[in-house]
């Protein structure tokens, strides 16, 4: 089941979530046993600290710049970049400037 977007409507995902100064915001698009799709907006200097997921994660940068650390290796991402993060590996996100991402989590088979 999809939420927060309309069927048969052209949308701009980047414009579907707003920045909030000093905050991390999220908007769920779908959340099922196998797949979760969520939009995030993260204000400059905020971070999503070390964590793991039981699902593989495809992170798509819609706007801005961030540093992603996966298993202690740093990656710098900017608008239109993507990175695939494996399940059960420690990772974190750090806002170098305001950024928006689409995060797709998919159950590992």
Structural domains in the chain, CATH included, are 13-107 (2.60.120.10)
| Average pLDDT of span 65-80 | 98
Identify the pLDDT of residue 89.
96
pLDDT for the residue 21: 95
Residue located via tokens 């999220």: 26
Nearest to 29 by CA among 51, 7, 49: 7
Question: Is the confidence at residue 5, as pLDDT, over 90?
Answer: no
Tokens 């740093």 locate to 74
Average pLDDT over residues 73-91: 97
Percent of the chain with pLDDT over 70: 99
Per-chain mean pLDDT for the chain: 95
Please check the confidence at residue 33 and state whether its pLDDT lies above 80. yes
């Amino acid at each position: 089941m999809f939420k927060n977007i309309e069927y048969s409507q052209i949308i701009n995902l980047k414009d579907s979530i707003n920045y909030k100064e000093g905050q991390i915001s999220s908007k769920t698009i779908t959340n099922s046993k196998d797949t979760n799709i969520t939009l995030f907006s993260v204000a400059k200097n905020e971070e999503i600290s070390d964590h793991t997921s039981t699902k593989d994660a495809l992170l798509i940068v819609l706007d801005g710049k961030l540093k992603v650390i996966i298993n202690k290796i740093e990656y710098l991402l900017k608008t239109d970049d993507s990175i695939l993060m494996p399940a059960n590996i420690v990772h974190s996100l750090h806002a170098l400037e305001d950024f928006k991402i689409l995060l797709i989590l998919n159950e590992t088979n």
